[in-house]
Amino acid sequence: MITTTGLTKVYQSRGRDITALDGVDLHVREGEVYGVIGQSGAGKSSLIRCVNLLERPTTGTVTVDGVDLTALAGRGRRAGKDLRRARSRIGMVFQHFNLLSSRTVQDNVELPLEILGVSGKERSRKALDLLDLVGLADKAKAHPAQLSGGQKQRVGIARALAGDPKVLLSDEATSALDPETTRSILQLLRDLNQQLGLTVLLITHEMDVVKTVCDSAALMRKGRIVESGTVGELLATPGSQLAAELFPVTGDASGPEHTVIDVTFHGEAATQPVVSQLARTYNIDISILGAAMDTVAGKQIGRMRIELPGRYEDNVVPVGFLREQGLQVDVVDDSRATALVKEGAK
């Protein structure tokens, strides 16, 4: 639904070039919620602005719903008619809502329809429908200044949906909201994604957002995407930073002569008594350093950090046993051991 290839963006600042995007290939499938996460300055903001060409990429192409937007760009800084038409089919919500204080809630939602040239009666009907959809039917005549942050963002979402978009871009839409409001806005995005089949591309610096709503995620660093995939794939990737952050377990080794491993359970493996089987089969003492169960992308997942006595070399067989049970095993904090694991995996 959204594809970018070789996207780069270079800014000129006081005669120096600053590379915000350094060859980004992004692929968002139709109907999924895709989260791009990274720290500030990683290039997330530039990326999402390049998708609807609010910022023109230096090189590379952007295709949304089969239309190559970069080819529509037109000359200079001004957006041509075709590009403006294409933008009206891509909704966008912003961190600071960007509602016009000079207009009522309803008039704010009608604004995109005015731009599309929809007649007054139709505009008002559509705006009221959308406000109903986001649960703000009673606030139509209010002004944005009278609303709470969460309500403002609902208006922002209703406005973004006015042009019947297939794609919704969300630029840190929940970053200015408290945790509870964040959850309700994410729930709304999820509902819209499922009810309307809306494809959502969101950028965020909060891992919780990815965990709550995203089907797929990408990690950005210094203008590049360093990891990407569906949440399931990421969790199944040994050494995935995103997986580790999505689902952190902590705990340090009690001494040098011990091996610390992270065991990830998904699917039916989660119900097997593996730890006691391991202890009985190899007659070893296992300490549990940390453990967590959670739902990620709608799936039950468990993670456990355990410690086995002896160095990694002494524990190759028990680790192999765990792998045989269909578990994902990552050895923690030992570069030599990690290298061995990778060899073993081959």
Chain residues binding other proteins by CB under 8 A are 52, 54, 77-79, 84-88, 90-92, 94, 96, 98-103, 111-112, 114-116, 142-146, 159, 162-163, 169
What is the token pair recorded at 53?
A: 């060409």
Q: Which is nearer to other proteins, 44 or 159 (CB)?
A: 159
**Least distance between other proteins and beta carbon 52 (Å):** 6
**Within a 10 A sphere around the Cβ of 121, how many other Cβ atoms?**
8
Q: How far is CA 31 from CA 40, 92, 157, 192, 196, in A?
A: 27, 16, 17, 10, 9
What is the token pair recorded at 329?
A: 């095993």
Q: Measure the CA–CA gap between 209 and 44, rounded to whole angstroms.
A: 15
Helical H segments across 148-230, by residue range: 149-161, 179-196, 207-213
Q: Which is nearer to other proteins, 146 or 271 (CB)?
A: 146
**Least distance between other proteins and beta carbon 61 (Å):** 19
Cα separation of the two ends of the chain = 34
Q: Which is nearer to other proteins, 12 or 250 (CB)?
A: 12
DSSP state letter for 79: P
**Within a 10 A sphere around the Cβ of 126, how many other Cβ atoms?**
20
Mark 58-76 as b/e (b = at least 16 C-beta within 10 Å). eebebbbeebebbebbeee
Q: Which is nearer to other proteins, 148 or 187 (CB)?
A: 148
Q: Which is nearer to other proteins, 159 or 266 (CB)?
A: 159
**Least distance between other proteins and beta carbon 176 (Å):** 12
Q: Which is nearer to other proteins, 91 or 318 (CB)?
A: 91
Beta bridge partners of 167: 90, 199
**Least distance between other proteins and beta carbon 254 (Å):** 52
**Least distance between other proteins and beta carbon 56 (Å):** 12
Burial (0-12, 13-18, 19+ Cβ within 10 Å), 267: exposed
Strands (DSSP E) contained in the chain are: 2-13, 16-28, 33-37, 59-64, 67-68, 90-94, 167-171, 199-204, 216-221, 224-230, 258-266, 287-296, 299-309, 328-331
**Least distance between other proteins and beta carbon 203 (Å):** 14
**Least distance between other proteins and beta carbon 148 (Å):** 14
**Least distance between other proteins and beta carbon 245 (Å):** 29
Q: Which is nearer to other proteins, 153 or 259 (CB)?
A: 153
Q: Measure the CA–CA gap between 171 and 189, rounded to whole angstroms.
A: 13
Q: Which is nearer to other proteins, 79 or 301 (CB)?
A: 79
